[in-house]
């Protein structure tokens, strides 16, 4: 099983979610995060005092998928979340050693 973490632009979330569900992903978790990479922050002012926004709001989705679905899921995320401009985000893939469904106790890919 692979865990796919993707930091994407928040307005892309619905598109990505729909597409992932369409290819058979059974669930995911979304968190609101702040981050930066090559996309630098920007300046704002408040009552005459300038301040820099270093961290930009993003959405992080976590999904754990069977190995067989991993590559397709990654391609789907790439296709739907890219805009071509700096700040599109990143995907990290890691291996998951165990998964358990709490309600039934199922383990492994059956838990996904």
Partner 1 sequence: MKRLTVFFTLFLFSLLFFNAIGRAQELVAPSAESVPAVTPSEQEAAPPAEAVPAPTEMSAAPDSSALDGIMVAADTVWVLMTAFLVFFMNAGFALVESGFCRSKNTINILSKNFIVFAISSISFWVIGWGLMFGDGNSFVGTQGLWFLGGDDNSPLKGDAYKGVYSSIAWAGVPLLAKFFFQLVFAGTAATIVSGAVAERIKYISFIAFSFVLVGIIYPIIGHWIWGGGWLAKLGMWDFAGSTVVHSVGGWAALAGVLVLGARIGKYSDGKVNAIPGHNMSTATLGALILWLGWFGFNPGSTMAAAAGDISRIVVTTNSAAAAGLLFATATSWIVLGKPDLGMSINGLLAGLVGITAPCAFVSVTSSVIIGAIAGVIVVFAVLGFDSLRIDDPVGALSVHLVCGLWGTIAVGLFSQDAMIPKTTGNGLLFGGGFDLLKHQLMGIVAVGAFTFLISYTAWFIIKMVLGLRVSPEEEISGLDASEHGQSAYPDFPTSTISTSRGGGA
SS3 content of the chain, % helix, strand, coil (to 5): 30, 40, 35
Q: Least distance to partner 1 from the beta carbon of 67, Å?
A: 32
Of 34, 70, 24, 36, nearest to 78 by C-alpha is 70
Asked if 89 and 38 count as a contact pair (C-beta separation under 8 A), the reply is no
Q: Tell me which H or E stretch contains 46.
A: strand 42-46
**Residue 2-41 contact track with partner 1, rule CB under 8 A, x = bound:** -------xxx--------------------x-x-------
Q: DSSP letter string over 80-92? A: HH--SSTT-EEEE
Q: How far is the CB of 63 from partner 1 (least distance, A)?
A: 20
The reply on whether position 84 binds partner 1 by CB under 8 A is no
Shortest Cβ 36–partner 1 spacing (Å): 11
| Per CB under 8 A, 105 contacts partner 1 | no
Query: CA–CA separation, 95 vs 59, rounded Å?
Result: 21
Stretch that binds partner 1, among 22-30, 54-62, 68-76, 98-106 (CB under 8 A): 54-62
In the complex, which residues of this chain contact partner 1 (CB under 8 A)?
9-11, 32, 34, 44-51, 53-58, 83, 85, 87
């Amino acid at each position: 099983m692979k865990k796919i973490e993707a930091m994407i632009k928040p307005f892309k979330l619905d598109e990505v979610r729909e597409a992932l569900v369409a290819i058979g992903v059974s669930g995911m978790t979304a968190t609101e995060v702040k981050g930066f990479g090559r996309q630098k922050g920007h300046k704002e002012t408040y009552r005459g005092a300038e301040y820099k926004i270093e961290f930009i709001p993003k959405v992080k989705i976590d999904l754990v998928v069977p190995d067989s679905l991993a590559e397709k899921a990654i391609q789907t995320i790439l296709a739907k979340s890219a805009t071509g401009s700096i700040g599109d985000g990143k995907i990290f893939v890691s291996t998951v050693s165990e998964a358990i469904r709490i309600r039934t106790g199922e383990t492994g890919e059956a838990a996904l």
